[in-house]
Structure 1
Amino acid sequence: MAPSPDKLQMFENRLTKVFRHLKKLARRQNISCYRVYDDDIPEFPFSIELYENKVYVAEYQRRHGMEEEAHEAWLDSCLELISKVLEIPLDLIFVKQRQRKQHRQAQYEKLSFESQEMIVQEAGLKFKVNLSDYLDTGLFLDHRITRGMVREEAKDKKVLNLFCYTGSFSVYAAAGGATQVTSADLSKTYLSWAEENMRLNDIDVSKHEFVHADVLQYLDTLKLNTFDLVIMDPPTFSNSKRMKDFLDIQRDHVTLLNKVLLATKKGGVIYFSNNYRRFVLDEAQIEASSIRDITTPTTPFDFQQKLIRKCYRIVK
């Protein structure tokens, strides 16, 4: 069933109110890429993000009971409304459909070949985002504050970024004065994207490492007491054909963290986060000197009450 005009009006009212509020906060903080809406009303299961002058809309898959044609018409109505409220032309709005539970390898699969790429700014740094071709844009907006913390701590440090994706944490670390940043990921596509992000910021990539590896195996090759600062933001589950093992972050986080701690210098810091809704950190089994849950202080203004990820600062 397509929603009634009343429901569309409800969606418009909600979007208008939220956008008006967030736009002010974003302007005050000089932020040009932020999330505007995230599944606030069940009948309109969208995530809507603004990337400067363009909009990225992800429609979460759910049983809507509409025929394909009716669904298309409904989606067109929603997009017209989003265009009107956000004052962005329809041709600058990009739409993806995504499942609520997503396996990591889907993130690596190219979904289209439009290459709607643009360079956006965040905290004085530049990043390439792609609004059309992949499931994610290349910049996780919810880690904006965490990236800033890494930048502040990185000076003269040796940094490791595991499951690095497009290397935004690596860019922040290098910009913060890290002596060397090692970025590891299973995807060659994302590693070259990470390298491109480094170059965009005039960072000498020859001073840094980009490692194409299955992180689960790569951890066993690391030397003891090597890194001062580690970022680890793994997927909840991963069973990519290129991985030897299946990753389940609830089951495997203790093993992963203890291996990372071995490769970390005494007093070194690990920023660990994940998106598993029911995640429980098994603190007693982690061989660290201190563990602090920093989920709340690292939650940006546009993710308040909406964020499912957990974030921890772990000290060896």
Structure 2
Amino acid sequence: MALLVLAVAPAALDPFRLGLLTKYLCFAIAALGIGLAWGQGGMLTLGQGVFFGLGGYSMAMYLKLHDAGPGNLPDFMVWSGVEELPLLWKPFASPVFAIAAAVLVPAATAALLGYLIFRQRVRGAYFAILSQALAAAFVIWLVGRQGLTGGTNGLTHFYDVFGRDPEDDGTKRGFYFVVALVLGTLYLLARQLVKSRFGRLLVAVRDGEDRVRFLGYNAAAVKTIAFAVSAAIAGIAGALYVPVVGIISPSLLGVVPSIELVVAVAIGGRYSLGGAVLGGVLLNWAHTAFSEQYPSGWVYLQGLLFILVIVLVPGGIAGAVRQAGDAIARRRPGVRPEPPPAADAAERKEAATA
């Protein structure tokens, strides 16, 4: 069904709405990373915007240098009085370096943080608070570096994206297919990872970290790897977001956007990778739809949705669909459905503590 919708969308939507859907798919990629870290690994990361931003700024730096031309400074540096291209910017003149940095820098940053945090057995609310503080500190740093990062305005006005005009309808359609393909590929890879031996170990760490450690496994290493993979996925989402929307700024990367991604995953179903992707699309679509009609009421509606899901359906939309399917199957003679034990146990535990 999802594949059919994605295939029909370019023909059914006008260029503007198709561009919005492409943006939603970028957020769905970031939500997929959260689904892996939080849903499968139990790491409530409230700072995923940091990794989204690292990927986005990596791509934006290349695009600004490409627009400026060899030997010239990006426009915002000229306005800020910068006379020489900063050393940090010089490698990003290469598109290969920029794309690699969009994936590797977030992954390396998360791996370093994970090594420092998880080896101290920091988890739960303490990890969530640390990740949230990281997002706040990252935004403060970006805002305070006007000549390096564009400050509050960020990086915008990209006139050439790999030889194509980003405002052209054909280019927007091409962006859609690229983002949809990347999302599908990452989803299949993440699903394969979850079904692997590592994925089962990750779920075991989520449900009983101390038991896993007593059995001789390095729980900190398992969580660090999963955290790094989720950060790399967020970096890819950020790198795709920049040419699609045409901007990357601190306002997209702070605490509030990071929490909104977590809310989207919770609504879609954090124990299901498909649910996380669905939540990333649906919540952002709802944000656009309701903001157009009720600009001041969307925040309250978003909070209400989150509360209702946590209280009534801890497993999100994906969990509710699975429960409904099980209920229908029970009515059939001779059929005894067996839901995934890890997700089912986690949902029951969360419902009991809600």
The answer to whether the superposition gives a TM-score over 0.5 is no
TM-score class normalised by the smaller sequence = under 0.3
Q: Which has the higher helix share?
A: 2
Q: TM-score, normalised by structure 1?
A: 0.23
Q: Which has the higher strand share?
A: 1
Larger gyration radius, structure 1 or structure 2: 2
